[in-house]
Structure 1
């Protein structure tokens, strides 16, 4: 495994840790406040983490072949996740 692959794994792990921390905080906020926006926020960050982790796993399993397909799946999941995050912000009341 070369340096770039190790760096890719490390940054994905960092993103997953930060994203799952946000999911946990949003769930905890929902339990405290019962604001549905917090559920949408947790779903959004969960999708963003899922996109990063799934892309990384798929890239290593396929030996970084089919990059276009990986990027389409990553972009779709990430965009959907951010749509949930934005919705949580505009629907918070």
Structure 2
């Protein structure tokens, strides 16, 4: 299996096609070679899952490893940034990886 970061952030355009969710956790991998896909689960809705081709997950215009904050200019004014306080210890580092 390929070692991947355990957490991913959908970039704004991709988030529009991901149910509006930005933060995802890796559940597993399927397939081989060019057919490999990664199963992701939305952090805010564990019932929302995606199968993303590995090649798309490596596209930094669509996905970023770790849970990234929105740039200040894109944040709603009434939503405080407290992501660090809700992250599980295993995912607080954007460099954490999972063997799948």
Indicate the TM-score class for this superposition, using the shorter chain for normalisation.
Answer: under 0.3
Structure whose CA Rg is larger: 1
The structure that is strand-richer by fraction is 2
The structure that is helix-richer by fraction is 1
TM-score by length of 1: 0.26
TM-score by length of 2: 0.25
